[in-house]
Amino acid sequence: MRNKVAPILNLVENSDKLKPLTNRRPVAALPFGCRYRLIDFPFSSLTGIEVPSAALFISGSGHSLYDHIRSGSTWGLESRVGGGVFTHSHINLKAELEGTELYTGNYYDDHYHFVSRSNAEYVLLMGSNMLSNVQLDSLMRFHLKKESDVTVVYKKIKRGEVRKDSIHTSLSMSESDSERIVGFNSIADLTDTENALLLNMEIMILDKETFLKLLYKARKQQKDVTVKNLIQFSLDDDKTIFGYEYTGYLKVIEDISSYFQANMDMLNEDNFNALFYRANPVLTKPKNSAPTYYGEQSEINNAQFANDCEVYGKVQNAVIFRKVSIAEGAQVENSIIMQDSCIEEDVYLNHVILDKHVYVKKGARLEGTIENPIVVAKDSIIYAEGDIEKGE
Amino acid sequence: MRNKVAPILNLVENSDKLKPLTNRRPVAALPFGCRYRLIDFPFSSLTGIEVPSAALFISGSGHSLYDHIRSGSTWGLESRVGGGVFTHSHINLKAELEGTELYTGNYYDDHYHFVSRSNAEYVLLMGSNMLSNVQLDSLMRFHLKKESDVTVVYKKIKRGEVRKDSIHTSLSMSESDSERIVGFNSIADLTDTENALLLNMEIMILDKETFLKLLYKARKQQKDVTVKNLIQFSLDDDKTIFGYEYTGYLKVIEDISSYFQANMDMLNEDNFNALFYRANPVLTKPKNSAPTYYGEQSEINNAQFANDCEVYGKVQNAVIFRKVSIAEGAQVENSIIMQDSCIEEDVYLNHVILDKHVYVKKGARLEGTIENPIVVAKDSIIYAEGDIEKGE
Amino acid sequence: MKTETVAMILAGGQGSRLGKLTKQIAKPAVPFGGNYRIIDFALSNCANSGINDVGVVTQYQPLILNNHVGNGANWGLNRHDGEATILQPYSSMEGEKFFKGTAHAVFQNIDFIDNKDPEYVVILSGDHIYKMDYQKMLDYHKEQEATLTVGVMPVPWEDASRFGVMNTDKTDRIVEFQEKPENPKSNLASMGIYIFNWSRLKKYLVDSQAKDRQLTDFGHHVIPAYLRNNEAIYAYSFEGYWKDVGTIESLWNANMEFLDPEHELNIRDRKWRVYSNNPNTTPQFLTESANVSNSMITDGCYIAGEIEHSILSHSVKVGKNSYIKNSFIMPNAVIGENVKIEKAIIGEGAHIHDGVEIIGTSDTIEVVGYDEEVGGYSDEK
Amino acid sequence: MKTETVAMILAGGQGSRLGKLTKQIAKPAVPFGGNYRIIDFALSNCANSGINDVGVVTQYQPLILNNHVGNGANWGLNRHDGEATILQPYSSMEGEKFFKGTAHAVFQNIDFIDNKDPEYVVILSGDHIYKMDYQKMLDYHKEQEATLTVGVMPVPWEDASRFGVMNTDKTDRIVEFQEKPENPKSNLASMGIYIFNWSRLKKYLVDSQAKDRQLTDFGHHVIPAYLRNNEAIYAYSFEGYWKDVGTIESLWNANMEFLDPEHELNIRDRKWRVYSNNPNTTPQFLTESANVSNSMITDGCYIAGEIEHSILSHSVKVGKNSYIKNSFIMPNAVIGENVKIEKAIIGEGAHIHDGVEIIGTSDTIEVVGYDEEVGGYSDEK
């Protein structure tokens, strides 16, 4: 009953550099780790606190997200007694639909109504592109103990862990109080000498009243309700902003390379345990499935699989999603194979990402590099001759 | 296990003449009959047949619909074992969202994938603007018995029951077989001498294969997947189309007047029983509620109420939604009062539609006519001086 | 996952003083207030107190009760961190196990509680009409470092001898327990609400089972045992509306009180809602001949008669020229034309035929049972 | 709403021939095939046959079983027109009621079935591994205008004397029933699957209860009574994989058969899926030292050892240099390093410490119980 939190998930996240994987899905719906989507991580972290209802801001139709989230019951977010998941499609354009007006949500009103009608006392903002597993109850205790107006989650990282031109920001702390945030910079603007930085993880907690004040500012200035902007408004208003340090596994999913690396990271036991076993259990939409069958001749070496696969070939350093079949004589290395893909005999894949439902014909070979893995779009067919029949 | 049906609900329905009630909601989300929305009627009729999953085509964000439908569990449409409700937002425009591409669904592909992946053998098309309660199991039996390629539901109505310029259509039957459809006309094009007509209720059933063929035609000709268009394609292909006659309550919700009339119709016991008690039980999203309290001085005469109201005044020929309070001395006649509205002392309302959350201040008077009821937009405040503070 | 608190709602009792109203269904499933069953109050209290892990112990005629409670979704209890679980008698290697008393029912479900691994167990009855924040009582329990906290209510001194009474010292520590004492030393009546430290209670129950199997009832056995062992037992005073609706008269009275729009329970309070399993039915239809005053009517009702100071539960039909006063009508009752009902309780699905009069007296409340048919020619076998 | 068919799954039995595997849980809840519990097959058959109204009768150690079945949502049974309902012993005005046999369990739940008002009742056991379309059997039942149809399976003549055998005439009408006959006249063994016309069965059960209370078991009492009264009883022949996993050996055998990718059950068939309550856990992690062949592994497993021709259920850990062959490992078992397991069944949550060897012989299968600890120094009390 105490410390109820109203989370707002901003899922209108830049996905340009993740194409073609994001051609038809937002970053939040990206498959990860054999059986998850990125949204599962923030959603699962919500199970650590008391959440009467959650708001999602998405762009476009969000079909893949709706299909995954449904009622939110997987994460205990469905409730017949008020609450549940409210989804707002933020279509930021002048839309005209043959004669009828488009029922666009009103961006600021949607925020306002969600928060003001919620019976929560606190508001939490987060996104889905910072792959991590944050213990929000501990964040909440920190926020209360510090009597902070606003608390923002950060992690100490090396410059090289994000893109040089990253769109994310680095926080600056007060010299007198190393937990107090006094400013931030765009990572892309940092000088080359700055090697370590405090990454703004774009997770913020604040009380309802403070949030509504900052929302009012955002509306007045017609700016997006992002953590970055709210930090700026808070600084403008001389509010106290504390930084809460996160020390668990983190990967910023900002391009194909970081997405690939995050999946490969899981093949390291330390990373795997840090993400899955050290904080909240990670929940995903349950699927009915059979165990995975490994044939007589299969050879597996450091790989992860979901249920429902049939494996007769060689798999090394790979992340294999549900309902994948790998035939005898096929060899899959350093690759991500998404759901429903079929790999025939004598195929060789190395540094490859197959999106869902890709068919790799007998004898085909694909070889990318760690910096530039080959990405094969959904529903494609790959022939031995090197032809790719595009899925989209 | 037999005769599974994949329903496609086309909820991209014209709502111009229903404004301001449809400013922010599609026709399907229009409140009706104290505790329902129009979508409840087609959804409830689906409970009569075996539906593994349903597809909804909506326009825009569909927030009000999502909020109402959630997982579809109210109507038994949620299922953990495959299926459930798939919603496709059909945004028929070139959308550009600051730098990122919009994740528009693909209209024809969405239809194709939904139907071809479903394990149903039949496809059902319906909308929400034909208020009725059709027994789909009986439609199905008729369709099978007739060995029809396509079956369409119609009702015999008088010309005056729909608008002169109605966008709906009238079916023509074969002279040799009065159940066989051989053509249709726009109602607006009918000559003045035609007084009776066979209204196309825009409910169609056909087998999967036939549907996919017609869908292919629609895609080729870039036409919408509407019952009207599919009838045309079927006629072009010389398919047999049978008409299934519906004889229950029907109201075409095409403007404020018909919407008002439909609600008032329910105050007639015959209509009420025909819609609610003769076919499928009508299910709506369950809400927790307290009984309605009628005070010492209340005077009620032929009226319907939902739970959670507090009534101290006079109410006659009115339809009152949830959480409405009507103070002593207030008088409400021939009106529709939607959820959360508050009517203070000595108010007089006659032929009025109050949208949700309207506040009518002490002594205010509003009087419309049966042809032109006054519609007060959501969240408005009405003062005794005749001022209306607009809610939108 | 470790749970802090598990609530056990003891809903297995028959409630025999409710006569024919509890012949086919358990007392906690008896309808109340138009839209509720009695157990809704305890379940809603759990949900509103943030206790999502609830065991509902049922035993007597549980079909309707179990169906009503389900997995607790209607009370918002089906969260990732909890749900309502129905617990019924079962057999094991040690034989068949019916519940012999309140404490014995908890003993039999030790496995269920141990699976949740809670720090505290809240023991509740499914029989009472009240709103209470168990979390506040739990805070008190922790503050006092109690091993047992008992919910008590001050009652008029003259009534105290009808209750189990807790004598406390100045620190609210309970020093003596008197069951229906002739000369009560205190007016603090036990509400049958207990918070135990689970590991401690479990030890008592297991030890007793191994020895003499005497700890079958909380009031009669467990509290005295705790007192004997000088456990830290504290009284937590509740002040608010609380009613045991264990008799026909108290059930009728509680319903009549409930009608008052100023009733202390404040059923319309959005901050502490009383949830139920609401039926999906049509709106209330009050016809031209209807006449309703000072009454509660519920969805699905069809009213063509006159209703005065009464509660009509959902889906009740009242024909023309019928008159209902000071009565509580349970769901799905069908009342014909020219019927007169006063000071009565009409059971679920009862059918009162045209022209029948059912009129209570100043001393007695008339009761018609579930599915009972009164008047008319019955074609049924 | 009127339902055509209600299925009653009798899942109350202990299954004592499974020894320590059914000490704490009922046989239908025993894990099977890596991702399932035995009852999943009957529940999935109901769902796939379009029978959504299912009563699951439980009695013996039902906590895990009840929790597994829930409201049937995982099998798609929670539709508007049905759901799974757990039915357990309860008390009533007539006293306390444990289920004394298969037919008695149905008798005790007459109210539940009557509420659904079905035409037909399908009686099933929760103990068998098979896929069967009950709808086809129901079609047959209607065609024959039977009052009882019994599911039968041809067994080898030499085995027939171990079964209840149905002797039929040329029209497949059952004319005689022999329980484990020395000289069987037929090789059609009863599968314990019955379709009854409900009103007829109810009359038999109620009449018997009023008289001598003799009809407690379907095979021993009800079928003979139907035969005596010359009821229209027909045999419906099932041909397909069907296995009663009532002993350690048959459970082990069935699991080993299940491993075969060409197994008749075809667990990967999307048109007739076997549903279960799938845990939310991590992917399968096969490390550099893992070596897996001809085996089934399930989500949540962490494998650093060698696995040959075995089934590992979800969330099993296997340490380095351990070797598992021809074994069935139940969920959440933890197997240390340098362990050798052959021809064994390892119970849920068992802990096999480093260096232990568990090796079955040609005659016997080694069994480790639930939560059992083998080897190592135990710090537990």
Q: Domain spans of chain A?
A: 5-276, 293-389
As a CATH number, domain C5-259 is 3.90.550.10
Query: Partners for A (CB, 8 Å, 3+ pairs)?
Result: B, C, D
Taking the alpha carbons of A129, A131, A136, A139 in that order, is the dihedral positive or negative?
Answer: negative
Task: Report the percentage of chain C scoring pLDDT > 70.
Answer: 97
* Spatial CA neighbour of B61 closest among A94, C145, A91: A91
- Which are the contacts of D199, defined by CB distance < 8 A and separation ≥ 6? none
Query: Span B183-187, mean pLDDT?
Result: 94
B305: nearest CB among C259, C284, C294: C284
Residue D1: per-residue pLDDT = 45
CATH of C285-374, one of 1.10.150.80, 2.160.10.10, 3.40.605.10, 3.40.50.10860: 2.160.10.10
Strands B5-10 and B53-58, bridge-based pairing = parallel
Confirm if D250 and D165 have CB atoms less than 8 A apart.
no
**Cβ–Cβ of A292/D293 closer than 8 Å?**
no
Contacting residues of C for D59, CB less than 8 Å apart: 90-91
Strand order in the sheet with D311-312: A388-389, A381-382, A359-360, A342-343, A325-326, A310-311, A292-294, D295-297, D311-312, D328-329, D344-346, D366-368
Alpha-carbon gap, residue B146 to D338, rounded angstroms: 71
Residue A183: per-residue pLDDT = 95
pLDDT classification of D121: cutoffs 50, 70, 90? very high
Cβ of A99 under 8 Å from any chain B Cβ? yes
Alpha carbon distance, N-terminus to C-terminus of chain D: 55
Those of residues 244-303 in B touching chain D at CB distance below 8 A are 281, 283
B27 has pLDDT over 70: yes
Q: What is the pTM of this model?
A: 0.90
Confirm if C302 and B276 have CB atoms less than 8 A apart.
no
Return the residue of D nearest to A35 by Cα: D283
D189 has pLDDT over 80: yes
What is the CA C275 to chain-centroid distance, rounded? 13
pLDDT classification of B78: cutoffs 50, 70, 90? low
Q: Is D179 annotated as a binding residue?
A: yes
The one-character DSSP state at C222 is: I
Least confident of A55-64, C157-166, C367-376, D272-281: A55-64
Query: What are the backbone dihedrals phi and psi of residue D249, each rounded to the nearest 5 degrees, phi first?
Result: -65, -45
Alpha-carbon gap, residue C172 to C179, rounded angstroms: 18
- The encoded tokens of residue D99 equal 């289920």
**Cβ–Cβ of A1/C135 closer than 8 Å?**
yes
pLDDT classification of C173: cutoffs 50, 70, 90? very high
Confirm if D177 and D165 have CB atoms less than 8 A apart.
yes
What is the CA C252 to chain-centroid distance, rounded? 14
- Type of residue numbered C2: K
CA-CA-CA-CA dihedral for D34, D40, D41, D45, to nearest 10: -140
Query: Span C222-245, mean pLDDT?
Result: 94
Same fold, D5-259 and D285-374: no
Contacting residues of B for D74, CB less than 8 Å apart: 80-81
Confirm if C299 and B284 have CB atoms less than 8 A apart.
no
| Mean pLDDT, chain C, whole residue set | 92
Residue A352: per-residue pLDDT = 97
In angstroms, the Cα distances linking D360 to A57, D324, D342, D367, D369 are 58, 12, 6, 9, 15
Residue D381: per-residue pLDDT = 39
Alpha-carbon gap, residue C333 to C331, rounded angstroms: 6
- Type of residue numbered D373: E
* SS3 at position B365: strand
Query: Span D236-255, mean pLDDT?
Result: 94
Distance from A59 to chain C by nearest Cα, in Å?
28
pLDDT classification of C291: cutoffs 50, 70, 90? very high
* Spatial CA neighbour of D196 closest among D160, D223, D159: D223
B274 has pLDDT over 60: yes
Residue C376, CA atoms < 13 Å, CB-side half-sphere: 17
A96 has pLDDT over 70: no
* Cβ count near C16 (within 10 Å): 12
- Which are the contacts of C207, defined by CB distance < 8 A and separation ≥ 6? none
pLDDT classification of A2: cutoffs 50, 70, 90? low
Residue A177: per-residue pLDDT = 93
Alpha-carbon gap, residue B47 to B34, rounded angstroms: 22
pLDDT classification of D325: cutoffs 50, 70, 90? very high
Alpha-carbon gap, residue B87 to B78, rounded angstroms: 13
Residue B57: per-residue pLDDT = 82
Residue D378: per-residue pLDDT = 52
Confirm if C109 and C202 have CB atoms less than 8 A apart.
no
Confirm if B304 and C284 have CB atoms less than 8 A apart.
yes
Confirm if D74 and B80 have CB atoms less than 8 A apart.
yes
Cross-strand partners of C168: C174
3-state secondary structure labels for all residues of D122-147: EEEECCEEECCCHHHHHHHHHHCCCC
Contacting residues of A for C73, CB less than 8 Å apart: 80
- Type of residue numbered A362: K
**What would the pLDDT profile of A118-134 be if each residue is shown by its tens digit?**
888 999 999 999 999 99
| Ranges of each domain in chain D | 5-259, 285-374
Contacting residues of D for B75, CB less than 8 Å apart: 80
- CATH fold of A293-389: UDP N-Acetylglucosamine Acyltransferase; domain 1 (2.160.10)
Cross-strand partners of D237: D152
Q: Is D180 annotated as a binding residue?
A: yes
Distance from A78 to chain C by nearest Cα, in Å?
8
Those of residues 193-212 in B touching chain C at CB distance below 8 A are none
Query: Partners for C (CB, 8 Å, 3+ pairs)?
Result: A, B, D
Q: Which residue has the higher pLDDT, C80 or D372?
A: D372
**Cβ–Cβ of B103/A26 closer than 8 Å?**
yes
Task: Report the percentage of chain A scoring pLDDT > 70.
Answer: 90
Cβ of A33 under 8 Å from any chain D Cβ? yes
Return the residue of A nearest to D290 by Cα: A301
Interface test mutation site (partner C, options B263, B288, B321, B328, max chain C beta carbons within 10 A): B288
Distance from B178 to chain A by nearest Cα, in Å?
36
B84 has pLDDT over 70: no
Confirm if A171 and A179 have CB atoms less than 8 A apart.
no
Query: What are the backbone dihedrals phi and psi of residue C330, each rounded to the nearest 5 degrees, phi first?
Result: -80, 170
**Cβ–Cβ of A293/D296 closer than 8 Å?**
yes
A58 has pLDDT over 80: no
Contacting residues of D for B47, CB less than 8 Å apart: 80-81
Residue A127: per-residue pLDDT = 94
**Cβ–Cβ of A59/B86 closer than 8 Å?**
no
The one-character DSSP state at B50 is: B
B92 has pLDDT over 50: no
Residue D92: per-residue pLDDT = 82
* Spatial CA neighbour of D228 closest among D215, D241, D238, D240: D215
Confirm if A281 and A44 have CB atoms less than 8 A apart.
yes
H helices of B70-164, where? 107-117, 136-146
* Long-range contacts of residues B327-334, Cβ cutoff 8 Å, at least 24 apart: B327/B362, B328/B295, B328/B297, B334/B264, B334/B370, B334/B373
pLDDT classification of B106: cutoffs 50, 70, 90? confident
Residue C71: per-residue pLDDT = 85
**What would the pLDDT profile of B291-324 be if each residue is shown by its tens digit?**
999 999 999 999 999 999 999 999 999 999 999 9
**Cβ–Cβ of D284/A292 closer than 8 Å?**
yes
- The encoded tokens of residue D370 equal 């639930």
B82 has pLDDT over 90: no
A250 has pLDDT over 60: yes
Taking the alpha carbons of B111, B114, B117, B120 in that order, is the dihedral positive or negative?
Answer: negative
**What would the pLDDT profile of A133-178 be if each residue is shown by its tens digit?**
999 999 999 999 999 999 999 999 999 999 999 999 999 999 999 9
C257 has pLDDT over 50: yes
**Cβ–Cβ of A60/B97 closer than 8 Å?**
yes
Those of residues 113-152 in A touching chain C at CB distance below 8 A are 119
**Cβ–Cβ of B89/A23 closer than 8 Å?**
no
Least confident of B141-150, B187-196, D39-48, D141-150: B187-196
Distance from D335 to chain A by nearest Cα, in Å?
18
**Cβ–Cβ of B1/D50 closer than 8 Å?**
yes
**Count of CB contacts below 8 A, A vs D?**
98
D80: nearest CB among B1, B76, B82: B76
**What would the pLDDT profile of C89-120 be if each residue is shown by its tens digit?**
888 877 777 888 999 999 999 999 999 999 99
Contacting residues of A for C133, CB less than 8 Å apart: 1
Residue B97: per-residue pLDDT = 32
- Type of residue numbered D216: T
* Spatial CA neighbour of D166 closest among D147, D186, D149, D180: D186
C298: nearest CB among B281, B291, B297: B291
Query: Span D332-343, mean pLDDT?
Result: 97
Query: Partners for B (CB, 8 Å, 3+ pairs)?
Result: A, C, D
Counting Cβ atoms within 10 Å, is residue B132 exposed (0-12), middle (13-18) or buried (19+)?
buried
Taking the alpha carbons of C156, C162, C164, C167 in that order, is the dihedral positive or negative?
Answer: positive
pLDDT classification of A94: cutoffs 50, 70, 90? very low
D275: nearest CB among B75, B78, B81: B81
Alpha-carbon gap, residue D340 to B45, rounded angstroms: 60
**Count of CB contacts below 8 A, B vs D?**
34
Query: Span C230-241, mean pLDDT?
Result: 95
- The encoded tokens of residue C109 equal 């479900």
C82 has pLDDT over 80: no
Query: If you classify domain A5-276 with CATH, what class do you get?
Result: alpha beta
Interface test mutation site (partner C, options A43, A73, A79, A121, max chain C beta carbons within 10 A): A79
* Spatial CA neighbour of B349 closest among B332, B368, B328: B332
Taking the alpha carbons of C345, C347, C348, C350 in that order, is the dihedral positive or negative?
Answer: negative
Interface test mutation site (partner A, options D78, D258, D285, max chain A beta carbons within 10 A): D285
pLDDT classification of B83: cutoffs 50, 70, 90? low
Alpha-carbon gap, residue C20 to D93, rounded angstroms: 11
- The encoded tokens of residue B115 equal 């139907």
Strands D295-297 and D242-244, bridge-based pairing = unpaired
Alpha-carbon gap, residue A384 to A195, rounded angstroms: 45
Give binding residues of C for alpha-D-glucose 1-phosphate as ranges: 164, 179-180, 190
